[in-house]
Amino acid sequence: MEVTTKKKKPGLAAIASFFIPGIGQIYSGEVRKGIGFIIIGVIFGSMTLILFWQHRMIGPFLVSGALYLLFWMYNIYDAYRTAEVINSQI
């Protein structure tokens, strides 16, 4: 029995990670990496919201928010790139 692997669509991986960090990596077959991105996204997102809504700490909120934004953009890039790398191995 032969197993065929479908090529992954890098654009779809990037769009998936735009909405939920880590989902694009999981779509591309990098499950552990995707779960790691999900966990990091939840931690950064929660930290950012808690700093603002519960503690009204503007400075740390801005730093945390900026770090989350950088993480989120890298996540989208990585999802796209991961799909391309997976496709090059097929």
Contacts of 68 (CB under 8 A, 6+ apart): 41, 44, 45, 48
Q: Is residue 3 part of a domain?
A: no
23 lies in which domain range? 10-88
Look at residues 1, 2, 30 and name the one whose alpha carbon lies nearest to residue 17. 30
Q: Is residue 25 part of a domain?
A: yes
pLDDT at 2: 52
- In the chain, how many domains are there? 1
Q: Is residue 31 part of a domain?
A: yes
Q: Is residue 1 part of a domain?
A: no
Contacts of 26 (CB under 8 A, 6+ apart): 34, 35
Q: Is residue 2 part of a domain?
A: no
- Interval 21-80: pLDDT, tens: 999 999 999 999 999 999 999 998 898 888 888 888 888 888 888 999 999 999 999 999
